[in-house]
Amino acid sequence: MFMFGIYSGLRISDILKFRVRDVRDKHYLMIREQKTKKEKKFAMNDELIPIIDEYIEDKKDYEYLFKSRQGKNEPITRQQAYNILKEAAAAFGLMAIGTHTLRKTFGYHMYQQTKDIVTIKEILNHSDISITLRYIGINQDIKDSTMKRLSFKPTKKK
């Protein structure tokens, strides 16, 4: 679930709707986003494909990717996804983790690698670039960097 989230940039509510048949032998995924109701088609990342292939190897096509142990074939809940992520994060000594962390991590790292904020805005379905910058924490990084560069020491003349 963590890998699916950081490689897709999807909201957890959309990740939990996927069934095995939606990802098996696929290089593109289709989804109607729950929040925006917009249809979205996106390429599966080449690093994610083998991770998913191994994960679904012994699963049936009709099963949810992240299936609940309660009842018949139902996905885990948002709350259970949060609990799983919190527990995994705690094992690594991380505290400020939630279901949105996956999506933010995707956006932040994509920005660090590409600097293409316009495409990231489109992928995350934000209405404005300023929202995307704030969402992925770039504004904070810029403010921190600017504050650290401030100096009142006299500069040496050469």
Examine the residue annotation and report whether 35 is marked as an active-site residue of this protein: yes
Return d(Cα 96, Cα 80) in angstroms, integer: 17
Q: Cα 147 from chain centroid?
A: 29
Examine the residue annotation and report whether 11 is marked as an active-site residue of this protein: yes
- Residue of 103, 108, 111, 121 marked catalytic: 103
Number of other CB atoms surrounding residue 36 within 10 Å: 11
Examine the residue annotation and report whether 126 is marked as an active-site residue of this protein: yes
Examine the residue annotation and report whether 100 is marked as an active-site residue of this protein: yes
Strand partners, 29: 42
- Residue of 7, 108, 111, 135 marked catalytic: 135
- Residue of 28, 35, 69, 72 marked catalytic: 35
Examine the residue annotation and report whether 149 is marked as an active-site residue of this protein: no
Examine the residue annotation and report whether 27 is marked as an active-site residue of this protein: no
- Residue of 11, 19, 67, 121 marked catalytic: 11
88-116 in b/e form (b: 16+ CB < 10 A) is ebeeeeeeebebebbbbbbbbebbeeeee
- Residue of 17, 78, 100, 109 marked catalytic: 100
Cβ pair 75, 66 in contact under 8 A: yes
| Residues forming the active site | 11, 35, 100, 103, 126, 135
